[in-house]
């Protein structure tokens, strides 16, 4: 019997618990007096920066990395609902980012940061460590190839053929006859502050539920079946 060529796409995805969280916070102030707006922004920024520095340690955490911008000041003349342009309003803003290795410390920090006048905690990005992401990528790539072999074997057996032998493996789309997106990838998910929940009796405490991280891989494969 002549050889038959079988082309398939293998895929595999796995979910891993988040190990790191990067929180984004902003200082925003506004008012009619530029100097007063700038001063309030500097005061809030100093308070937020001190809150970060008090628990920053790049080796042990809970904050392992952080960054901030310089104070930005701009102005605008807003319009009211009667279509009249109002007096000049000044705005000042500073953006902060901090990476946490301890999620309990993150929850406490968010509570403290949100208590600073002019500070808004806008988002949290969950992620894996580099080591976990690397090992997870190796695992899902291997499982994607095994999935391709299993698919090709089923196809071959369904037409009365036996074993299959791989003759080509490639990232999706690189064999020229399969549609697909990018190759193996690791992703992250974002959690908005709506993921907060209030727990326990007594004073309310903030609890954050880390979202799991999807790591997935796809591979195009071509086999010969006999």
**Judging by DSSP bridges, how do beta strands 185-186 and 213-225 pair with one another?**
antiparallel
Q: What angle do CA 115, 121, 124 make, to 5 degrees?
A: 135
105 CB-near residues (< 8 Å, 6+ apart):
55, 61, 62, 63
128 CB-near residues (< 8 Å, 6+ apart):
16, 18, 19, 20, 136, 186, 213, 215
What is the structure's pLDDT at 80? Answer: 86
What is the structure's pLDDT at 179? Answer: 45
Candidates 213, 216, 222; CA nearest to 144 is: 216
What does each C-alpha distance from 151 to 7, 23, 146 come to in angstroms?
9, 42, 9
What is the structure's pLDDT at 78? Answer: 87
What is the structure's pLDDT at 30? Answer: 96
3-class secondary structure, 223: strand
- The structure tokens 């190796």 sit at 138
What is the structure's pLDDT at 186? Answer: 37
Cα separation of 88 and 31, whole Å?
Answer: 9
What does each C-alpha distance from 140 to 43, 154, 169, 175 come to in angstroms?
48, 21, 15, 20
Cα separation of 174 and 121, whole Å?
Answer: 43
Domains of the chain: residue spans and CATH: 4-17+131-198+205-225 (3.30.110.170), 20-127 (3.30.70.2970)
Cα separation of 108 and 192, whole Å?
Answer: 16
pLDDT tens, residue order, the chain (226 aa) = 578 999 999 999 999 999 999 999 999 999 999 999 999 999 999 999 999 999 999 999 999 999 999 999 999 998 888 888 888 999 999 999 999 999 999 999 999 999 999 999 988 999 999 999 999 999 999 999 999 999 999 999 999 998 899 999 999 988 875 444 444 443 333 333 333 333 333 444 455 778 788 999 999 999 999 8
Cα separation of 42 and 29, whole Å?
Answer: 10
Q: Residues 22, 110: contact at Cβ < 8 Å?
A: no
Cα separation of 72 and 55, whole Å?
Answer: 26
Q: Residues 78, 85: contact at Cβ < 8 Å?
A: yes
User: Is this prediction's pTM over 0.85?
Assistant: no
């Amino acid at each position: 019997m002549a050889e038959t060529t079988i082309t398939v796409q293998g895929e595999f995805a796995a979910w891993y618990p988040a190990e790191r969280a990067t929180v984004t916070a902003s200082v925003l102030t506004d008012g009619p007096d530029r100097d007063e707006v700038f001063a309030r922004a500097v005061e809030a920024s100093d308070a937020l920066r001190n809150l970060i520095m008090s628990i920053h340690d790049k080796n042990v955490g809970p904050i392992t990395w952080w960054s901030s911008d310089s104070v930005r000041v701009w102005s605008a003349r807003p319009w009211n609902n009667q279509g009249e342009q109002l007096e000049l309003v000044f705005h000042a803003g500073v953006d902060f980012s901090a990476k946490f290795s301890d999620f309990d410390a993150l929850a406490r920090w968010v509570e403290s940061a949100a208590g600073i006048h002019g500070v808004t905690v806008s988002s949290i990005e969950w992620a894996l460590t580099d080591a976990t992401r690397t090992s997870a990528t190796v695992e899902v790539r291997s499982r994607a190839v095994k999935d391709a072999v299993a698919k090709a074997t089923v196809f071959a057996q369904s037409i009365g053929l036996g074993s299959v032998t791989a003759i080509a493996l490639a990232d999706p789309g690189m064999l020229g006859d399969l549609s697909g997106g990018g190759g193996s990838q690791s992703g992250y998910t974002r959690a908005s502050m709506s993921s907060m929940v209030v727990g326990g009796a007594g004073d309310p405490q903030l609890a954050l539920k880390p979202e799991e991280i999807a790591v997935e891989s796809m591979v195009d494969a071509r086999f010969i079946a006999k």
